[in-house]
Amino acid sequence: MTTRVDAPPAIRVRGLEKAYGKLAVLRGVDFEVARGAIFALLGSNGAGKTTVVRILSTLLKADAGSASVNGLDVATQAGRVRESISLTGQFAAVDEILTGRENLVLVAELRHLKSPGAIADELLERFALGDAGARRVVEYSGGMRRRLDIAMSLIGDPPVIFLDEPTTGLDPERRIEVWRAVKELADGGTTVLLTTQYLDEAEELADRIAILHRGRIIVDGTLDELKRLLPPTRVEYVRRQPSLEDVFLVLTGDAEPQDTTATTTDVTEPGKA
């Protein structure tokens, strides 16, 4: 990935607060996201992840605190922030009357890009929708709509992308396709803020991971840093059984059989939990 340590952060959040009536959703949230990095915001339902994304994408005003995206203040420079970002929410924002290809062409035209048809065709193939491009979206399955929605968010190569629960409703193959696309974005210098409940997704993708709990960031670090928060471990040799995902991907031809005769696993030292 192309994270630049010396560059100012692409996203900076300080003391962010938001309440709905007496319900405090955000209670002083702080974090930074480096340019070109993938930052995962983990949390259970109701933790405030979507509220953070909505504030950063200028769809919601914070009660207190400050936030900037791509060096722009989200409160005072909202218009310029919106020009610098793309957002994929929890529910697919596609036009069901149009075909998949027409949805993509429309977004490319609205962004005044050259060759909108070619852009649409490339994204349809990239997200395994080539055969469905001429069909109206009303006929798509939930997973297909999700893939189309994510494809639409990539049009125009915005420097910052917010992905709010991007793989909800996708099968294992499509999840991996989305993961590959997200990694390609970061490798090209795009900053990605990802909210998810899937721990394997954060582990697979993120340069840094923050856990949002009861309106506050309780930990923020790399995967290795977070793992070091656990008690010491000892190593045991075990016979590894393939997971259901392993079986699925091998049988569908998307992965080679793996040697499961022996591997190592970390086990918490008894009495040190």
Phi, psi of 131 (to 5 degrees): -75, -15
Residue 122 and residue 46 share a domain: yes
Residue 154 and residue 251 share a domain: no
Helix then strand then coil, in percent of the chain rounded to 5, is 35, 25, 40
Domain assignment present for residue 162? The answer is: yes
| pTM as predicted | 0.77
Contact predicate 9/35, CB 8 Å:
yes
Residue 68 and residue 175 share a domain: yes
Helix 244-251, helix 172-187: angle, nearest 10:
90
Query: How many structural domains comprise the chain?
Result: 2
Residue 238 and residue 152 share a domain: no
The string of pLDDT tens digits covering residues 41-87 is: 998 888 899 999 999 999 999 999 999 999 999 999 999 999 899 88
Residue 29 and residue 118 share a domain: yes
What the block records as the tokens of 96 is: 């069901």
Domain assignment present for residue 5? The answer is: no
Mean pLDDT of 164-176: 81
Confidence band (pLDDT; 50, 70, 90) for 40? very high
Alpha-helical (H) ranges within the chain are 49-56, 78-84, 100-110, 116-126, 142-153, 172-187, 199-205, 223-227, 244-251
- What does DSSP say about strands 208-213 and 38-42: parallel, antiparallel, or unpaired? parallel
Domain assignment present for residue 210? The answer is: yes
Residue 218 and residue 124 share a domain: yes
CATH number at residue 146: 3.40.50.300
